[in-house]
């Protein structure tokens, strides 16, 4: 299936071609082609077990993979997590991975390990401004935060690096509707500030409302790609998940 590119006036930031990955001898992904444009939000949707989280891990270097990954014009096919982060590709993994016994401030500081003190403090304050709810609790231990606030903290940790592309894996998992909207609103703010977002999300309606383009993943392969402005997209996604015909032409 040909990969739909970002709008013609948008620079392609991430290009994945023929990517395959898995866990040991267990193959999960089969020849994935995907692009993300600079300052674009792309949603990656699909049923449980489709390989969405595996794809993000493969892109960020957390899993061995074959195929080609180009980021910002640089070949990242063999890059590990550290090289990815240094290039501006940051992956916020699923599940509120924060240090619960450290303060909110120290959690964000730790994410910027290796930066100079004055620069790091500037980055910490910049990241916390996206989430006033946790900025007010900067001296509280992370264990005292709600699940939604811990998710905000996890995203803030990723923002310290000023990523060119932020990959978010199920940021709404386990959150109340109000907190889901707050976390996803931060993704929209990031786009407005020029940061691209690759979003794995189960809440299809909210993801389609937020994103510019969407890929559907099922059984380890891309089964649909489209712009979110296209007609009848939710129905086409449902058909794609269950392996039915999705051959209707997509927007160029």
Q: Answer yes or no: are the C-beta atoms of 77 and 86 closer than 8 Å.
A: no
Q: Sketch the domain layout of the chain as residue ranges.
A: 1-88+164-172+195-252, 95-162
Band the pLDDT of 180: cuts 50, 70, 90.
confident
pLDDT digits (tens, 9 = 90+) for 6-46: 655 679 999 999 999 999 888 899 999 999 999 999 999 99
Q: Is the CB of residue 107 less than 8 Å from the CB of residue 99?
A: yes
Average pLDDT rounded to a whole number, residues 213-232: 93
For the whole model, what pTM was predicted?
Answer: 0.87
pLDDT tens digits for range 97-111: 789 999 999 999 998
The single residue listed with the structure tokens 């999960």 is: 28
What's the pLDDT at 42?
97
| Superfamily of domain 1-88+164-172+195-252, CATH level 4 | P-loop containing nucleotide triphosphate hydrolases (3.40.50.300)
Q: Residue 113 has what pLDDT?
A: 82
Q: Per-residue pLDDT for 4 more than 60?
A: no
pLDDT at site 244 = 46
């Amino acid at each position: 299936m040909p990969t739909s590119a970002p709008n013609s006036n948008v620079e392609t930031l991430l290009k994945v071609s023929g990517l395959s990955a898995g866990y040991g001898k267990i193959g999960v992904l089969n020849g994935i082609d995907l692009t993300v444009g600079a300052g674009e939000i792309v949603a990656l949707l699909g049923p449980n077990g489709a390989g969405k989280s595996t794809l993000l891990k493969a892109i960020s270097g957390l899993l061995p993979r074959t195929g080609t990954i180009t980021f910002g014009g640089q070949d990242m096919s063999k890059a590990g997590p550290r090289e990815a982060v240094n290039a501006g590709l940051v992956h916020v993994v699923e599940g509120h991975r924060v240090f619960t016994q450290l303060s909110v401030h120290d959690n964000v500081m730790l994410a910027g390990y290796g930066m100079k003190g004055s620069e790091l403090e500037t980055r910490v304050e910049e990241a916390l401004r996206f989430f006033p709810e946790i900025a007010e609790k900067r001296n509280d231990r992370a264990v005292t935060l709600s699940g939604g606030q811990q998710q905000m903290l996890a995203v803030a940790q990723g923002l310290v690096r000023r990523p060119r592309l932020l990959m978010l894996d199920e940021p709404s998992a386990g959150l109340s509707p109000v907190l889901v909207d707050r976390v996803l609103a931060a993704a929209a703010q990031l786009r407005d500030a020029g940061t691209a977002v690759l979003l794995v999300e189960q809440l299809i309606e909210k993801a389609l409302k937020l994103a510019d383009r969407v890929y559907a993943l099922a059984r380890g392969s891309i089964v649909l790609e489209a712009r979110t402005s296209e007609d009848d997209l939710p129905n086409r996604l449902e058909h794609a998940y269950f392996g039915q015909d999705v051959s209707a032409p997509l927007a160029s």
